[in-house]
Every structure is written in structure tokens, then in C-alpha cells.
């Protein structure tokens, strides 16, 4: 890639990414805000995915590194193995494109940031706009269903998964204000998975505070945050007429189905699979197609095993291992990136356990872009330090 035109390539990437984000938010928000609405036209999402897959692949091939290992090797293997397995299971071209999008976006974000650390700031500014755009749909959904008791809104995920990018600010007070704002929005959504993610997010924030400073200051901060959180919860619950407490205590169901029952059915399906099916999987959306409940696994670990097979599942575990390892490394090195990265891990953890991130081509890619951007930034920073010696 010619150095003078590097930023032009990056700007084109952001334009295509914008088309993708607009397409999937417009598509998904219709069903989230009106469950009785007819299925929206998803052709524009597929077109955006094809463009983004093609362009990201071009960026990767143009800057391909022969010596690959770790997460980069996992991304490469995913891009080569996944299409073969999906073709074997007679998947549509659109499903293949969606399934290989995340590793391509990871590598594209990595390469753009490795070429210039300034792109971190551009990503930050870009995702401020993304969060505002997604937040508009969330507020609209809350206003539309405010009269329905205990009505929850999945549209909270549109702004929430942009949170790691928004936390790329050095001002600690601004970081705290951002966390408070998203906590209010998350609680207002009445999504239990979001509330659980917020618990882990605030735990990460406390850990980041405890990294340095005097013991008495640390103790005071913990007491202050605990008391403040408890008071805010009680006030918010009272303001909403007890809906938060009622939502938390309600039986864990999704679309009228108990998640434990969904997991049990999916696990039984995995156990009854043949050796060939365990290797090649059952195809994209296999759980939803084959389950007697006619619903996805609502757990990415089970979903990946059944849909894509054990080999792809091993690559999926490599992604998990990398994200956890990187988070630990950032904590030890005291990088300012630790809190945003830990927040991304908290969201990934909760949503992967009780929902489905990797199955749908949507906001999961926000996290992927953040992880790829982080790798590029760290590598670029390390090289600059070596040259300065």
C-alpha cells in the first residue's frame, strides 16, 4: 500500500463500515422495536457485507505478512476453513460472507492502526458518532414501549458495544461520566444481560483505580462507589416503579423459553451428532433450524460447536484466549488501554454466555475492530520505542 494514500484507504474503509452499520441497525431495530413488524428487507445488509468483506480482504492481502502466529494465524485459518465447512453444509453466499467478516475486520483495523497511531483517534471520533446514532434508536425504542410494564429493549446494544471506543479518553473524570451515562441507559433498557455486563464493567473500573495510589484512597473509592451504586439503584428502581427489581427477579426466559432448557436441548443435539457433523458442523443457523424450540442456542460456545464444528470451535477458543491474555498484559503494563479493553471483555463474556454475538453480523464487529485496533497500536508503539533507543 502506498504510504501517501494510506489515509485514503482508511477513509474508504470507514465509509464502507458506515454503510454496514446503518444497514444492520436499520434492519435489526425494526424487529426490536416492533415484534409484530414484517421481516425487513436484508438485501442492503448483504450488499454492505460483501463490500466490506471484499475491501478488508484486499487490505489484508496488500499487506500480508508471511510469518503469522497467534490471533493472526487464527484469523487466517478461520477465513480459509469456515467457507469450506459452510459450502459443505450448502450455505448461502451471504452466510459465508457474514461468517468470515469478523477476522477480516480484525486484520484491517490492526493494519490501519499499525501504519498510523493517529487512526486510534479517528476510530474514537468515528465511534462517538456510531454511539449517538445507535443511541437515537435506543431512545426511540424506549419512548415507543415506555407504557409497557417490564418491556425491555435490545436496542441498548447499538450504543453499548461502542463503549470501549468511547473510553479512549485520557480525562479520568470524563471516563467516569461516560460510565455513569451508559449505566443509566443500561438499567433503563431493563435487559438483565446488560445489567450483568455493567457489574463487570464497574468491577473493571474499580480494578483500574486500584492499580496505583495510596491504600486509604483505594478504600475510600471502593466505599464511595459501592454506596453510590446502591443509592442510584434504589432511586432508579423507585423512579421506575419497582420495574428493575421485578425484572431481575423474573424467571430467566427469552421469548417465552427458559435458557437452561435451550442449553439442554442444544447440548443433546450436539451429543447426538455424528463424527462428521462434529467436525464440519451443521451449517449457519443450524441450532435454530434443527432445534425443536426453533431458536438459537443463546450461548456462543454451544452455537459454534453445533453450527461450525469442533475445529472452528478451537479457533473460537483461540480468540477468547487472546482477548483474555491481552487484557492481563495491559493490566500489568499499566496501559491506559486497560479499562477500555477490560470493558470489551466484560461485554464479550456476558453476551457470549447468554446471547449470541458471533452468529449475527452486527455489533459484535465493534468489539472485533477495537481488538484489532489495539493490536496495531501496541505493535506500532513498540516499534517506535525500539527506534528511539
- Tally Cβ neighbours within 10 Å of residue 108: 28
Better-scored residue on pLDDT, 150 or 363 = 363
Residue 242 — left, alpha, or beta (φ > 0 → left; ψ -120 to 50 → alpha)? left
Q: Are 153 and 32 in contact (CB under 8 A)?
A: yes
Measured in residues, the chain has a length of 389
The predicted-structure confidence for 234-265, as pLDDT tens digits, reads as follows 544 444 444 444 444 454 444 445 788 999 99
pLDDT of 375 > 50? The answer is yes
- % of the chain residues with pLDDT over 90: 62
pLDDT of residue 2: 41
Of 145-154, 244-253, 326-335, the poorest mean pLDDT is in 244-253
Distance CA 196, CA 189 (A): 12
Distance CA 115, CA 124 (A): 16
pLDDT of 54 > 90? The answer is yes
Distance CA 343, CA 204 (A): 7
The predicted-structure confidence for 71-109, as pLDDT tens digits, reads as follows 999 999 999 999 999 999 999 999 999 999 999 999 999
Q: Which three cell numbers stand for residue 140?
A: 426511540
pLDDT of residue 213: 58
Residue from 210, 190, 201 nearest 346 by CA: 201
Distance CA 196, CA 208 (A): 19
The predicted-structure confidence for 195-217, as pLDDT tens digits, reads as follows 999 999 999 998 888 876 555 55
Average pLDDT over residues 7-35: 87
pLDDT of 281 > 80? The answer is yes
User: 153 Cβ partners below 8 Å, 6+ apart?
Assistant: 32, 33, 138, 141, 142, 145, 189, 190, 191
Q: Which three cell numbers stand for residue 278?
A: 462434529
Distance CA 295, CA 304 (A): 14
pLDDT of 224 > 90? The answer is no
Average pLDDT over residues 134-150: 74
Instruction: Collapse the DSSP code of 250 into the 3-class scheme (helix H, G, I; strand E, B; otherwise coil) and give the result.
Output: coil
The beta-carbon contacts of 310-318 under 8 Å, at least 24 apart in sequence, are: 310/278, 310/279, 311/81, 311/85, 311/279, 312/78, 312/81, 312/82, 312/85, 312/281, 315/74, 315/77, 315/78, 315/81, 316/358, 318/70, 318/71, 318/74
pLDDT of 128 > 90? The answer is yes
pLDDT of residue 222: 60
Of 20-24, 29-33, 376-380, the poorest mean pLDDT is in 29-33
Amino acid at each position: 500500500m502506498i504510504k501517501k494514500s494510506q489515509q485514503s484507504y482508511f477513509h474508504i474503509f470507514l465509509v464502507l463500515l458506515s454503510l454496514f452499520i446503518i444497514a444492520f441497525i436499520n434492519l435489526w431495530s425494526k424487529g426490536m422495536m416492533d415484534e409484530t413488524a414484517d421481516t425487513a428487507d436484508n438485501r442492503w445488509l448483504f450488499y454492505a457485507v460483501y463490500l466490506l468483506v471484499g475491501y478488508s480482504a484486499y487490505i489484508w492481502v496488500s499487506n500480508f505478512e508471511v510469518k503469522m502466529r497467534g490471533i493472526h494465524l487464527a484469523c487466517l485459518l478461520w477465513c480459509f476453513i469456515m467457507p469450506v465447512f459452510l459450502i459443505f453444509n450448502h450455505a448461502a453466499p451471504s452466510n459465508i460472507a457474514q461468517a468470515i467478516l469478523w477476522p477480516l475486520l480484525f486484520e484491517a483495523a490492526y493494519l490501519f492502526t499499525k501504519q498510523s497511531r493517529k487512526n486510534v483517534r479517528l476510530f474514537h471520533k468515528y465511534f462517538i458518532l456510531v454511539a449517538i446514532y445507535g443511541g437515537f434508536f435506543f431512545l426511540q425504542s424506549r419512548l415507543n414501549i415506555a407504557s409497557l410494564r417490564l418491556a425491555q429493549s435490545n436496542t441498548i446494544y447499538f450504543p453499548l458495544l461502542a463503549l470501549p471506543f468511547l473510553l479512549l479518553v485520557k480525562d479520568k473524570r470524563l471516563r467516569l461520566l461516560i460510565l455513569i451515562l451508559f449505566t443509566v441507559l443500561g438499567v433503563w433498557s431493563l435487559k438483565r444481560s446488560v445489567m450483568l455486563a455493567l457489574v463487570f464493567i464497574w468491577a473493571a473500573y474499580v480494578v483500574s483505580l486500584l492499580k496505583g495510589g495510596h491504600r486509604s484512597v483505594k478504600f475510600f473509592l471502593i466505599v464511595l462507589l459501592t454506596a453510590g451504586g446502591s443509592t442510584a439503584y434504589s432511586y432508579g428502581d423507585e423512579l421506575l416503579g419497582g420495574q428493575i427489581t421485578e425484572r431481575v427477579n423474573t424467571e430467566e426466559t427469552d421469548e417465552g423459553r427458559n435458557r437452561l432448557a435451550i442449553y439442554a436441548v442444544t447440548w443433546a443435539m450436539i451429543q447426538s451428532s455424528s463424527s462428521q457433523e462434529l467436525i464440519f458442523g451443521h451449517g449457519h443457523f443450524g441450532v435454530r433450524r434443527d432445534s425443536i424450540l426453533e431458536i438459537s442456542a443463546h450461548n456462543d460456545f454451544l452455537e459454534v460447536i453445533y453450527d461450525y464444528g469442533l475445529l472452528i470451535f478451537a479457533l473460537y477458543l483461540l480468540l477468547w484466549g487472546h482477548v483474555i491474555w491481552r487484557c492481563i498484559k495491559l493490566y500489568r503494563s499499566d496501559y491506559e488501554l486497560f479499562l477500555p479493553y477490560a470493558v470489551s471483555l466484560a461485554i464479550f463474556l456476558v453476551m457470549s454466555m447468554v446471547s449470541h454475538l458471533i452468529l449475527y453480523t452486527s455489533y459484535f464487529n465493534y468489539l472485533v475492530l477495537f481488538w484489532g485496533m489495539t493490536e496495531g497500536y501496541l505493535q506500532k508503539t513498540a516499534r517506535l520505542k525500539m527506534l528511539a533507543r
